[in-house]
Amino acid sequence: MSFRLRFFMIGAMTLMSEGQRRRCSEEISDIRKEISSLGAMQDDLLHALTDLRLGIESAVTVAAGSLPEDCSVAKKRGAWGPFQMIAPPGIGPRMVRCDMLTDGGGWTVALWREPVMKTAGFGERDGPSGDTLHRDSPRVSSYPTRSVKHDLSARPPAEKDPQRPSRNDILPDERHPAGDAGDEETWYRRRRLRRSSQGSSRELLRESFNRTWVEYKDGFGHHTGEYWIGNDVLHALTSASAEPWEALILLNDFRGQNATAAYGQFRVSDEGSGYRLMAAQYDDKRSTAGDGLAFHHRRSFSTYDRDNDEYHGSHCGLDYGAGWWFHQCHVSLLTGAGTSDAQRGTEGPHTLHWRNWKGEEALHSAALLIRPKNQL
């Protein structure tokens, strides 16, 4: 209590009668007791909140222990839907996309590139006249979402060293020539990447994959749209045991043609070694796209803010605006800039492309699927 207030109260009480002073003292005493009681209640609330937090953490731990580690385990337990909650080893629960149909199913989708169609209009977001995101599932996830439209008119920066060979001159591994997707009826036909047939009044939204090292580490996007599952998750899934993992890459161009690349070995190391990629045992019998990962095999991951490539004097992640297992710099770039129908035919090393199949032509859709090799 300040000196002035205390002086005022003493002066006021001097002018009061004995009865008034007694009542005033009693009220002051009651107020002090209430203040003390409120302080005790505050302490009780803090303890209750702490207990609640610990209870929630315990419940999450128990739930995580009962959740499948990946989509292959979820499938064995009878799950069939495209979105599942999993708990990778050592990592908290998260919602992911699963592919339960292609080649026996049980695939955990590590990367999904497919534009979201947005209707131009006004009103409620999900109403008949509103801006509607065309998806089959509610948006529930721990991932933050950031959709952007890319301006692909700019070309990548010119080479700093004229004596150094151009990135565009890097050729695919000749041991695995580019495949021809053609119109073959393969197993891939069972789960083709979807394409929209909406009119020109609809706008394509693409997720930005020009993200920081930490964002690629943790994962970003949304499981019902374009997303990256996270390098920590890739490592946790593929390196948790001695059991080998396999990968399947699905590609789709703007003309509706598709291609695949299957790998019998797929593994990602820990952050300390730069999330180094192992992509081996390219399967010619199951593949039509060509081996676009041979050039990136045993390479560390790079982003615009973390340069781990082996192109001395250059920074591939910064030059091409994406996170990837760059070497000098790339033959494939599934995290390259996405394009829209209006930009079909766009070419360039900065786009979403698979050089062994379509050169540097920007692709419409792509997916990276992974699962334990002997899970079927």
> Minimum mean pLDDT among 71-80, 104-113, 153-162, 315-324: which range?
153-162
Per-residue confidence band for 341, with pLDDT thresholds at 50, 70 and 90: confident
pLDDT, residue 19, reads 74
Question: Domain residues of the chain, as ranges?
Answer: 3-58, 68-372
Angle at 128 between CA 192 and CA 125, to 5 degrees: 80
> Minimum mean pLDDT among 24-38, 85-99, 175-189: which range?
175-189
Mean per-residue pLDDT over the chain, rounded: 77
Q: Is CATH 1.20.1090.10 the right assignment for the domain spanning 68-372?
A: no
pLDDT, residue 133, reads 30
Distance from chain centroid for Cα 315: 23
> Minimum mean pLDDT among 40-49, 185-194, 308-317: which range?
185-194
SS3 308: coil
Give how far Cα 1 sits from Cα of 4, 231, 359, Å: 9, 57, 79
Tens of pLDDT along 134-159? 333 332 233 333 333 334 333 344 34
Residue 216 reports pLDDT greater than 90? yes
Tens of pLDDT along 234-290? 999 999 888 899 999 999 999 999 999 999 999 999 999 999 999 999 999 999 999
Residue pair 240/89 in contact (Cβ under 8 Å)? The answer is: yes
Cis peptide before 329 (omega within 30 of 0): yes
- Regarding predicted confidence, which is higher, 82 or 29? 82
Instruction: State the burial class of residue 332 (Cβ atoms within 10 Å of its Cβ: 0-12, 13-18, 19+).
Output: buried
The DSSP H or E segment spanning 245 is: strand 245-252
pTM summary value = 0.65
pLDDT, residue 371, reads 98
